[in-house]
Each structure stands twice: as C-alpha cells, then as structure tokens.
Amino acid sequence: MLRTTGLTKEFGGLTAVDDVDFALDEGELCSLIGPNGAGKTTFFNLLTGVLTPTEGTIEVRDGGGWREVTDATPYETASIGLHRSYQITNVFPTSTVLENVRVAAQAASGDAAKFWRNAGAFERHVEEAYSILDRVGLAHEAETTAESLSHGAKRQLEVAIALAGDPDVLLMDEPNAGVSSESVGRIIDLIEDVATDHAVLLVEHNMDIVMNVSDRVVVLNQGAVIAEGEPEAVRNDPTVQEAYLGGYEAGSLDAESDAESGTDPEEGAA
C-alpha cells in the first residue's frame, strides 16, 4: 500500500531521516517507534507531503501498480488515499464535531470550494460524517463544539477526520498522547477497529499499546532503521534494548505515559 526507497531528509548538516527503505502492506498495522529525535515525525511529514525528501522515493499502491508521490503536496497525498491524524489535535475548535468531520468528507470528495454552504446541500457528506462519528464513539457529541470535548475525545475526533473519505492508508501520530489513563482503552479499541479495514502506520510511545496491537514494529534511531519484525522479536533485540527500550517490561510504561501527559495516575482510578 505504501513504500519508500532510500528516503532521506537533511536539514543543513543534520540527517533527520537516513536512507529508509520501508513498506506497509494491505491490512497491516505497523508501529514506528524510537527515542525522541529519532526522525519519526519527519518521516510522517515526508510521507504526507509536508516535507520534500532530500533523496529517495515514496510510492503508494494505485490500482494494480505503484504511483510515485515523492513530490506530492499534502492535498495530493490525501486525495489518493493517504490520510493522517496528528500528534497535536488539529480541529476547528468553534465548529461542532459533526461539522469538523463533514468538512473533511467534503474535502476528500473534491468539494473543498463549497465548505461553508448549508450542510443540508451535502446530505451525502453529513451521512458519512455521522457514520464515522458512530464508529469512533462520538455520535452522541455530534452537536458539541470541538473545543468543549475532553482531550481523549479530541483524539477520537482527530481519527474521525482522518477517516473521512475512506483512505487506503492511515498514519496515526501518537493518538494516545496526553490521554488520561481511563481513556487509553478506548483509544486502543479505536486503533484496532480502524486496522480491520485500513493499512495503519502508528507512531506511539506507550510500549504496551505497541506490543499489543502491532503486526510489525519498525525502530528508528538517529533517522535510520535499526530493527524491524514482529513485536516480541523487536522487544528482545539487544540493539533496540540499548537504543530505546532499556528494561521495558509489560505494563511498566503506564505510569510514565501518565507522567508525560501531565495526568495524575490516580485520576483514572477515581
């Protein structure tokens, strides 16, 4: 569904992504992990047209063949079925939850120039938006303004927006970031549900999530791939242990995730 060959991005004397060969297969949920500064977000930005590679190629599956999108814009990558949810929530805060998803559905269908007409004129997009909201568990919040949602619900809305237009490939950039411990289960369920009918590339720091949901794990360090394979094999790889995982044991990062998000670990249990 998606592949890169020799993908490289340099910023002056810094190589942020270093000669990466990568492939994401149809129906696969692959997690991309690595320490801060490893190049994960830069890699996502290259895939979605936010940045232009210094070297290398990016291709997506198009019918029976491959289409090069190395120099495509974010709009062009989205229009051919490569959508992304962001690490930082990226919504229209004063618009309703429904309007956020409806507008995304219009954009995906090519109706971008008609965003702000009466929504009744776009019944198809409204129906699609309701269907997506039901899938991500936000149908009951359809008329709520996005800024009024909890942080966890905003992450669900981000995924809903990314799902608009039924993309072939979904890039999920830390969907669990800043989410309270009581909401983690909902995010995991959402990731697994989306992966049933989309190829998913996931960036996630919570190793419990990564190890439980991934078909395959790819590890970046200093911009280069240092390991890839099934979760258990990557977990036990000495190179990965030294570069990133350290003494990771299942369940050991829950409190760390709460600390990074500024959430009190006791809050979810209250």
- Cα–Cα distance list, 217 to 24, 48, 85 (Å): 11, 20, 19
What pLDDT was estimated at residue 28?
A: 96
* Backbone angle region of 52, left / alpha / beta, with phi > 0 → left and psi within -120 to 50 → alpha: beta
Predicted TM-score of the model (pTM): 0.82
> Which residues fall within 8 angstroms of residue 40, CB to CB, at 6 or more apart?
32, 33, 34, 203, 220
Confidence of residue 110 (pLDDT cuts 50, 70, 90): low
Confidence of residue 258 (pLDDT cuts 50, 70, 90): very low
pLDDT digits (tens, 9 = 90+) for 172-197: 988 887 777 777 888 889 899 999 99
Domains for the chain: give ranges and CATH numbers. 2-81+168-269 (3.40.50.300), 90-166 (no CATH)
pLDDT digits (tens, 9 = 90+) for 70-99: 999 988 888 888 988 865 566 888 999 999
Gap between the Cα atoms of 156 and 161, Å rounded: 9
